[in-house]
Amino acid sequence: MIPISLNWDTREKSFQLKWNGFISSGWRNGKMSMRVLRFPIPFPLKKKRIRFPVRLPRRGIYLRGILSFLIGWKLKKVEGTLSFSDPMVNGVLYGWMSVFQTQKPGRKIHLTVNFSGENWCRGEATLSLNVLFHHIRRWIFPFICEMRRGKPRKGGG
C-alpha cells in the first residue's frame, strides 16, 4: 500500500501531510495550503471557528488507540538540535542520545544536543493506509461522533 507521509520543519514553521504526492495538505508560516496533483486548491476566505468541548471523553479505548496510533508511525529521517536552559538536563539528554544512536546505526536519525540554546528539528515519518483505516474505524470515528454529541453514550456498546 501507498504510505501517508508526514513532514515537519521547525525552522520554516511548516507541517505537511502527503499521500503519494497526489494529495497534500499542510501549514507553512501560519497559512494552510492544499494541493491535488501539485496544483493548489484555494480555500474559502471566511474562517470557521473551531470549538472544542470543555470535557473530553475519558475512555480507555481512546488512550490505547492514541498510543497504538503513535507507535504505528515509522521514522524515515530526523535531524535537529536540542538545548535546554539547564546544563545538567543537556548533559543527561546528551548521554541518552549517544546511547540511543549507537544501538541503531542504520537509521537516519541525526539529533544533537548543544549548550548554546539553539533548537530546531526537521523530519519525515510514514504510516501505511491499512493502519490508518484500522484506527479510523476502531476509535477515531467513534471519538468524533461522541465529541459531536456532547455527552457520553449510555448503556452498552
Does the pTM exceed 0.95?
no
pLDDT winner (highest mean) among 50-59, 98-107, 111-120? 111-120
- Whether 13 contacts 26, CB under 8 Å: no
> What are the sequence ranges of the domains in the chain?
4-149
pLDDT band of 81, cuts 50, 70, 90: very high
Three-state secondary-structure class, residue 92:
helix
pLDDT winner (highest mean) among 19-23, 33-37, 148-152? 33-37
Residue 120 has pLDDT above 90, yes or no: yes
Check residue 53 and give its pLDDT: 57
- Whether 18 contacts 4, CB under 8 Å: yes
